[in-house]
Structure 1
Amino acid sequence: MEFEIWQFGVFFAAGLIGGFIDAIAGGGGLICLPALMAMGVPPHAALATNKLQGSFGTFTATMNFAKKGFINFKELFVGIVCTFIGACIGTVLILFIDAKFLKFLIPVLLLAIFIYTIFSPKLGEEDRQAKLSSKTFYLLFGLGLGFYDGFFGPGTGSFWTFALVGFLGLGMKKAVAQTKAFNFVSNIVSLAVFIVGGQILWLVGLLMAVGQIVGGYLGSNMVIKKDVKFIKTMFLTMVGLTILKLIYDFI
């Protein structure tokens, strides 16, 4: 495909804004994917290119969080392995199973998260006692959410953040940081499938990736510097927009 100069500017801006928002609260795809399709990119190519550029954003945010001490990869090893396995299984099964039921179920689950977070004002403000051991948690949610991201995807970051806060007792900042690491793992699995499928627009994807790197770095720094109330507001905003997007797609 051929694009005009101004369209490349749109791609870069979408990557920058998407990476910034995704690093704070997830949901960057709600910006990047529509931008690609608005420029005339076919749906399959848009999905593939979005996964390429998004992987750079999650990687940048993950590395910045790790550098600032919010991620310890040794602690996350079991979760990373389980997420990888789950994403592989989900990516394979999407070829054989109809995802229509998930299109109905996921907005309902996200709405429950949205309501619970609103009515739990202290949620994520500080670390609390975990309800599950870390190994049990990462085994269950790593496999489950890794599978979901490989199989369907929308809202994965929201589910991870909520699960880390609600079941592992993490504060919101640390939960957001760890979410980026798990998102990156499942993104890589999906990206590998798209690369094999040959659907990626490499020039567009790499240009957006530059924006994602800048946005991911700025957004992760914002999480570190801002208070929890700001992060929760961003989180609720992106969960709400994801719910609306999924309902619109379902209708």
Structure 2
Amino acid sequence: MSPELVIVLLVGAAFAAGYMDAIAGGGGMIIIPSLLLAGLDPVSALGTAKLQALFGSGSASIAFVRKGHVGPREVLPAMALSAGGAALGALLAQYVPGDLLAAILPFLLIGIAIYFALKPGISDIDRERRLTPFLFALLVVPAIGFYDGVFGPGAGSFFMLAFVGLAGYGVLKATAHTKLLNFASNVGAFLVFAAFGSVHWSLGLAMGLAQFAGAQLGAASAMRFGAALIRPLLVTVCLALAARLLWTS
């Protein structure tokens, strides 16, 4: 396969990942295997994936903010904690293989899928929260950010589960907040990978433009259809990611 065709395929994968990520997360399980198949080493694949993901999560964040589904100022402290956790995770990723996380992740994703498929009353309407905003930001956000930095795929789904199950958010509101925290975790992890020289810049930027376009379309779809689209797609994505991980393990 020619290098030009490989780039075209990677750009197409980035567009699809941007669309999916903006709605339900899981784009990393398209991007990282694609980069590995293209010949990048695992750490460079993670670093390049973070570069292009900045465009997708940033694009979706802009779309949700413009429509008033989330205010940046209200989530700035949580975004800082998400970025800090991701930076620590990315530091660890330079030295520790992700085999253990890869083995555990499928079962976590299946659990998320079961929760969103079977839990009654999940909609775009807010519900009773189980954690105060302070405790949620202090305990939950940096933990998911750390996971995003050290491994990554499925982080958006974990944020979604936390916002719905612990913060009591409706599905659309949870999706909007997830995008900003995911953008912050991408920034934190990317800065560390870039500092270690683990980023393929030209490829990551080309894929990033496709991610931006895909995320705009995905965010528009999420805002138009709300929980009716987000909930089934989230279940499908989680099960598909789990199946892929189990198949390749």
TM-score, normalization by structure 1: 0.90
- Alpha-carbon RMSD across the aligned residues, in angstroms, is 2.1
TM-fit CA distance, 1:123: 1.4
Q: Check whether the contact 1:114–1:240 (CA below 8 A) recurs between aligned residues.
A: yes
Verify the 8 A CA contact 2:148 2:185 in the aligned structure 1: yes
Given that 2:124 and 2:173 are in contact with CA atoms closer than 8 Å, whether structure 1 keeps it comes out as: no
| Conserved 8 A contact 2:89-2:189 | no
| Residue equivalent to 2:200 | 201
Equivalent pair of 2:18/2:56 in contact (CA under 8 Å): yes
The equivalences for 1:120-199 within 5 A come to 120-199=119-198
Q: Structure 2: state its 5+ residue gaps.
A: none
Query: How many residue pairs end up in the alignment?
Result: 249
Render the CA deviation track for 1:87-141: whole Å, top value 9, x for unaligned: 2332334456565443333322222221122111421331112122111111111
Offset from partner CA, 1:139-159 (integer Å, 9 cap, x none): 111121112222232221111
Residue identity opposite 1:215 in structure 2:
G
1:46 to 1:239, Cα distance in 2 relative to 1, 3 A = same
1:241 alignment partner AA: A
Paired with 1:88 and 1:210, the residues of 2 have a C-alpha distance of 24
For 1:44, give the aligned amino acid.
V
- The structure-2 alpha-carbon separation of the partners of 1:8 and 1:105, relative to structure 1 and needing over 3 Å to count, comes to closer
1:14-163 to 2 correspondences below 5 Å: 14-95=13-94, 99-163=98-162
What amino acid is the match of 1:229?
A
Give the Cα–Cα distance (whole angstroms) in 2 for the partners of residues 153 and 4 of structure 1.
26
Deviation of the 1:245 alpha carbon: 2.8
1-side partners of 2:210 and 2:94: how far apart? 31
- Comparing 44-53 and 140-149, the one that deviates more: 44-53
State TM-score, norm by structure 2. 0.91
CA contact (8 A) 2:114 2:235 kept: no
Closer, same or farther: CA 103–15 of 1 in aligned 2, 3 Å: closer
**Matches of 1:93 and 1:205, distance apart in 2:** 22
Distance 1:6 1:151, change over 3 A: closer
Q: 1:32 to 1:94 in 2, by over 3 A?
A: closer
Give the AA of the match of 2:188.
V
Q: C-alpha separation between the residues in 1 aligned to 2:16 and 2:130?
A: 35
SS of structure 1 residue aligned to 2:198: coil
- Write the distance in 1 (CA, Å) between the matches of 2:75 and 2:13: 30
Q: Percent identity?
A: 35
Q: Is the 8 A contact 2:43 2:94 kept in 1?
A: no
Distance 1:38 1:85, change over 3 A: closer
Q: Do the aligned residues in 1 keep the contact of 2:87 with 2:192 (CA within 8 Å)?
A: no
